[in-house]
Structure 1
Amino acid sequence: MTDKNPDPTHIRLAKRVAEQLNCSRSTAEQFIEGGFVSVDGQVVEAPGARVRPDQAVAVAPDASLLELTPVTLLLHKPVGVEAGLGQPAQGGAGQAAHASRSQGAPQAVTLLNPASHLAEDASGIRVLQRHFKQLECFTPLPTEASGLVVYTQDKRIARKLAEDIESLEQECIVEVKGDIAPNGLQRLCHGLSFNGRPLPPIKVSWQSETKLRFALKGIRPGQVPAMCEAVGLSVVAMKRIRIGRVPLAKVPEGQWRYLQPWERF
């Protein structure tokens, strides 16, 4: 339905819908991008698609611009993929890993597509192409770390993350190796310094023989590796599993889910 040299008898879908509904072209485009318009029984989300006069163009009876709300996507970023490092520094648990930017590493935003959507997503939101446009990330995670990264179209959520990321508790699982020093766990919880400044109390506990759980606020790049090194441990891997009250939940690496309406950071 899209040709470089279109047949003059074919018209843009947005124009056809505008004529059928007697509405503005911009309103027609919103209905199309909202997934409410079908051509010959197949939903088409591209306002610029061209249709023939004999093709049946239908607008869903329940079409409403009220449904066109912005969305927030929660991605489980794999190791080896960059996320948000092109944004102004906002802090974030993942930055605790070595934050050197890997040249040529793929961008996490490329994983946001219908094919990588979590099949068991409980949000009930219908996946649309417009959900992958104008996304912002305020929760950067370096290439060496994995875990939760937030991409949003919602200006309210963007403002919340930009302004409050320092005060939101972030939880991460850190795989370590080495022998921890005597009283090392207690020192991780309170008593260490970073960049010449004493660290506030932090929640640290063992998840297994090789994995520590960190829950902390205002984390700085390199902080967790430096803390571990101070007690005789070195970081093998790091995974962020929660930001504020929003968990990664059971999302496999490389997949994403929608933030549900009731979830709040």
Structure 2
Amino acid sequence: MSNSLPESIRLNKFISDSGFCSRREADRFIEQGCVKLNGKTVAVGAQVFAGDEVRVNGRLIAASAADKSDRVYIAYHKPVGITCTTLQTVQGNITDAINHPERIFPIGRLDKDSEGLIFLTSDGDIVNKILRAENGHDKEYVVTVNKALTPEFIQKMSIGVPILDRVTLPCQVQMQSRFVFKIILNQGLNRQIRRMCEYFGYKVVRLVRTRIMNVSLGNLPVGHWRNLPAEVIAEINRAVSGSTKVATNVAARTSKNSAKSGKNPQATKAIKKDAPRPRTGRGNKSPVKKEAPRNKGRTSKPRR
């Protein structure tokens, strides 16, 4: 292991910085007893020191190098039916769909029955930064519903909708056509848009994520991916760092104010009209895999 390691580093960060997986996935590996530190099973929160040996499922994890020029950052147009997980046991998982030569993992999630833009990378550090700042950056979607839209629906969607025992944050909503609207969120609740629509009696027929922060889906075909250029990565890092600091400051002020008032800022009343939680389970069919060209390019289909 490299001697460039700081005096100590949390085990999950050490694993994610190596490019093996995200910190959240690292914590799951640790909780499942799949991680050995110097030959011994350890708990979440363990520290790694220079000279320590870390293995995940028997695979030696190398310390992260300071130079990240070899890290992979891609934008992928996820098709419907692909699950945003790296677990090989899940049929239609995103890593098998892309079949990238490097070990990469998704940043955030996009529902199996939704399509559109999602980032994947081998840089565990940026994954953690983006996930920590998940509620601080824009995500844009184009949504098709099963019945005609009304000005009232657009207005109520934009001011906040009671779902999951809370009210969603205000957002930008714009009607595109009779059945299609665009929505920009800076919040990431589970199946948020679908639940918001269901609250008003609408069913989502199609949901496409078209933008994350400064990166747009553009004309990237379904099932294809493209590399993100260095300047875009730098801009994402700057945006994420700024939103993380703002979120931390807001949380600190909120905590301080609630301590003075004796109120819990997260306490909300249960909403009776909330849509039921979706049932989990795999679909009956997996998407048809596409044959991909072998030549490398800025835009690429999955390689088979």
Task: Say if 2:86 and 2:93, in contact at 8 Å, map to a contact too.
Answer: no
Q: Closer, same or farther in 2 for the Cα pair 1:162/1:234, shift >3 Å?
A: same
Q: Closer, same or farther in 2 for the Cα pair 1:182/1:152, shift >3 Å?
A: closer
In the comparison of the two structures, how many residue pairs are matched?
Answer: 167
- The yes-or-no answer on 1:255 pairing with 2:243 is no
Task: Say if 1:83 and 1:141, in contact at 8 Å, map to a contact too.
Answer: yes
- The yes-or-no answer on 1:111 pairing with 2:112 is no
Partners of 1:67 and 1:195 in 2: CA distance? 39
- The superposition leaves residues 111-163 of structure 1 with CA deviations (integer Å, 9 ceiling, x where unpaired) of 324xxxxxxxxxxxxxxxxx632312222122101111211112442232222
The unaligned stretches of length 5 or more in structure 2 are 1-66, 237-304
TM-score, normalization: structure 1?
0.57
- The yes-or-no answer on 1:158 pairing with 2:113 is no
Q: Closer, same or farther in 2 for the Cα pair 1:159/1:80, shift >3 Å?
A: same
Larger proportion of helix: 2
Task: Say if 2:111 and 2:191, in contact at 8 Å, map to a contact too.
Answer: no
Partners of 1:221 and 1:167 in 2: CA distance? 16
Q: What is the DSSP-based 3-state SS (H/G/I as helix, E as strand, rest coil) of the residue aligned with 1:159?
A: helix
The answer to which structure, 1 or 2, has the higher relative contact order (CA under 8 A, 6+ apart) is 1
Deviation of the 1:104 alpha carbon: 5.5
2:94 maps to amino acid: A
Residue of structure 2 equivalent to 1:229: 198
Give the alignment of 1:44-123 within 5 angstroms. Answer: 69-84=70-85, 105-113=91-99
Residue of structure 1 equivalent to 2:171: 202
Which residue of the other structure, out of 144, 149, 160, is the alignment partner of 2:118? 149
Residue of structure 2 equivalent to 1:239: 208
Q: What is the DSSP-based 3-state SS (H/G/I as helix, E as strand, rest coil) of the residue aligned with 2:128?
A: helix
Task: Say if 2:86 and 2:95, in contact at 8 Å, map to a contact too.
Answer: no
- The yes-or-no answer on 1:171 pairing with 2:172 is no
Partners of 2:151 and 2:181 in 1: CA distance? 16
1:153 maps to amino acid: S
Partners of 2:201 and 2:130 in 1: CA distance? 34
The Cα RMSD (Å) is 2.4
Q: What is the DSSP-based 3-state SS (H/G/I as helix, E as strand, rest coil) of the residue aligned with 2:112?
A: coil
Task: Say if 1:205 and 1:212, in contact at 8 Å, map to a contact too.
Answer: yes
- The superposition leaves residues 176-210 of structure 1 with CA deviations (integer Å, 9 ceiling, x where unpaired) of 11244561111011142112322221111112222
Residue of structure 2 equivalent to 1:43: none
Partners of 2:103 and 2:218 in 1: CA distance? 25
Task: Say if 2:142 and 2:182, in contact at 8 Å, map to a contact too.
Answer: yes
Residue of structure 2 equivalent to 1:217: 186
Q: Closer, same or farther in 2 for the Cα pair 1:225/1:85, shift >3 Å?
A: farther
Task: Say if 1:77 and 1:146, in contact at 8 Å, map to a contact too.
Answer: yes
Question: Structure 1 residue runs of 4+, over 4 Å off?
Answer: none
Partners of 1:84 and 1:147 in 2: CA distance? 16
Partners of 1:244 and 1:69 in 2: CA distance? 23
Q: Percent identity?
A: 26
Partners of 1:133 and 1:240 in 2: CA distance? 25
Task: Say if 1:85 and 1:140, in contact at 8 Å, map to a contact too.
Answer: no
